[in-house]
């Protein structure tokens, strides 16, 4: 088949036709990747074609599997022209498991592509054409970095085991090893398989839906939470025996009454064995967090974010930390001398933040307010905190912030705003009201918190137009 022809069961068709049919085999040049799925993007017959397997710059022969009004989905037949940026995936279930999307792209190319994802989102969704996107800060060894894994429990008969969801489905891909999680968690995964198939401990997993495990990069301690619909009666008497099969496991909890059918964690928790939390240390900041805590999954990259912000933090006496979680960044700011007011909706996270403040000796420099951010900012305590702050740090969930919160920040005329985002689309959306409200975007610094995936963390540095920009010596050439 020549490059100029489209072949189908009906024979050769005019390549200028905008129509594609199921079963057609076409050649496309791949120009981009879809961050969420890892699918390559090309065009044929006037239609966009999505296909798993190729990387940008490759010419591929593909078979059309489904056709929609504006796009088609295809299956890879063969790579016709290979890109120098192609890499050999290092996981046996890559392409089936939904955890990683870009293992087939060389790491430098991953970083360049992710920079482009942010740039495109700001330009297309936020109308921000002149944003300076700095060179992403990546990892020297972009594997074995995740300090947390959330496993799906396969249930029923002899098929019980553990895995991750397949891409774009709730089908379970069994896994007994994962090269993305830290080695300690990989050994935990092997121990879980042993425990679930050992008659002496298998009942501990009766009714289990998910297992969440978290380990400390500095301490090596591991904790687990096993999620069931109702409080487990079989786990507590067997938890100690399960822990003995899992290296350095210091605690096992039962999470129960999940808020939805597919929720990974329960709304309630009961300790079944050992300690409820484990210790992590990032730089000189100590954290104790539970398996259910909101805590970044890549401790090495959190340390990189700390290092990037530290010179400026030391010049800022008052900071408000919105969506502060268990206090990851609030405690860092406080240990550098700032007085910090953290706001967080989850009461468990607030309790952890307060305990961790005491652990680091910064109780006198921190205060934590429990409630929805947009509600707390309407209270006297919230409005006072904003009015007195030198910088507001925002680290919202993937859905981003909200109009009320951003409007409160603009009204308070806070001199500086730092927005840490894991979703370029919502970052682009949320920057718009800040820029319209008198802020200037100095730069956006990406951090590769999630190597081998389509996700990227980005820190947007803003300041009011009538306030001098802060100096970031770590990135003098990138931030102005």
Q: Catalytic site residues?
A: 422
The secondary structure of 431-454 as a DSSP string is HHHHHHTTEEEEEEEEE-SSTTSS
Asked if residue 443 lies in contact with residue 461, where contact means CB atoms within 8 angstroms, the answer is yes
Sign of the Cα torsion 335, 336, 341, 345 reads negative
* E runs forming strands in 177-334: 208-215, 222-228, 249-256, 268-274, 278-282, 285-289, 318-322
Give 152's DSSP letter.
E
CA-to-CA distance for 51 and 5, rounded, in angstroms? Answer: 19
Query: Residue 80 corresponds to which tokens in the numbers above?
Result: 């016709």
Q: How far apart are CA 419 and CA 462, in angstroms?
A: 8
Cα 65 to chain centroid distance, Å, stands at 30
The arrangement of strands across the sheet holding 208-215 comes to 172-174, 161-165, 148-154, 208-215, 222-228, 249-256, 268-274
The answer to whether the CB of 350 falls within 8 A of the CB of 368 is yes
**Strand locations in 71-111 (E):** 71-81
Q: Of 472, 480, 419, nearest to 122 (Cα)? A: 419
Place of tokens 């081998």: 452
> From CA 407, how far away is CA 436, in angstroms rounded?
10
Sheet with 71-81: list strands edge to edge.
Answer: 11-13, 6-8, 25-29, 59-67, 71-81, 47-51, 40-44, 32-33
> Cβ(307)–Cβ(332) under 8 Å?
no
Strand 249-256 and strand 222-228: the pairing is parallel
């Amino acid at each position: 088949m020549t490059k100029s022809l489209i072949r189908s069961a009906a024979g050769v068709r005019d390549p200028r036709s905008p129509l594609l049919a199921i079963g057609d085999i076409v050649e496309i040049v791949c120009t981009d990747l879809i961050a969420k799925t890892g699918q390559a993007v090309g065009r044929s017959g006037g239609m966009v074609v999505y296909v798993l397997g190729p990387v940008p710059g490759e010419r591929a022969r593909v078979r059309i599997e489904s056709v929609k009004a504006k796009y088609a989905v295809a299956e890879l037949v063969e790579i016709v022209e290979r890109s120098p940026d192609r890499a050999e995936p290092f996981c046996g279930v890559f392409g089936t498991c939904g955890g990683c999307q870009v293992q087939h792209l060389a790491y430098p190319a991953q970083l360049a592509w992710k920079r482009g994802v942010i740039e495109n989102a700001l330009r297309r969704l936020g109308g921000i054409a002149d944003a300076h996107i700095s060179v992403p800060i990546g990892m020297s060894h972009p594997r074995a970095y995740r300090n947390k894994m959330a496993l799906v429990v396969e249930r029923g008969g002899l098929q019980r085991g553990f895995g991750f969801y397949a891409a774009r489905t709730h089908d379970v891909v069994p896994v007994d090893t994962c090269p993305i999680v830290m080695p300690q968690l990989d050994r935990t995964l092997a121990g879980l398989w042993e425990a679930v198939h050992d008659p002496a401990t298998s009942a501990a997993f009766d009714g289990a839906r998910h297992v969440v495990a978290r380990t400390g990069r500095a301490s090596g301690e591991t904790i687990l939470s096993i999620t069931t619909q109702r409080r487990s009666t079989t786990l507590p008497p067997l938890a100690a025996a399960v822990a003995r099969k899992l290296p350095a496991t210091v605690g096992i909890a039962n999470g129960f009454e999940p808020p939805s059918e597919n929720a990974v964690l329960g709304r309630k928790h009961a300790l079944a064995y050992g300690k409820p939390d484990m210790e992590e240390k990032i730089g000189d900041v100590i954290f104790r967090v539970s398996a259910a805590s909101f805590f970044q999954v890549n401790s090495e990259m959190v340390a990189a974010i700390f290092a990037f912000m530290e010179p400026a933090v030391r010049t800022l006496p008052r900071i408000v930390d919105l969506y502060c979680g268990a206090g990851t960044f609030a405690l860092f700011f406080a240990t550098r001398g700032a007085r910090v007011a953290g706001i967080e909706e989850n009461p468990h996270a607030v309790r952890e933040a307060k305990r961790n403040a005491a652990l680091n000796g910064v109780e006198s420099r921190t205060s934590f307010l429990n409630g929805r951010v947009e509600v707390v900012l309407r209270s006297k305590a919230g409005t006072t905190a904003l009015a007195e702050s030198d910088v507001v740090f925002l680290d919202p969930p993937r859905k981003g912030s909200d109009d009320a919160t951003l409007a409160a920040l603009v009204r308070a005329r806070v001199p500086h705003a730092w927005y840490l985002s894991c979703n370029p689309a919502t970052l682009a959306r949320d920057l718009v009201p800040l820029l319209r409200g008198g802020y200037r975007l100095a730069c956006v610094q990406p951090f590769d918190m999630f190597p081998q995936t389509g996700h990227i963390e980005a820190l947007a540095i803003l300041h009011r137009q009538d306030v001098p920009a802060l100096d970031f010596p770590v990135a003098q050439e990138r931030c102005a």
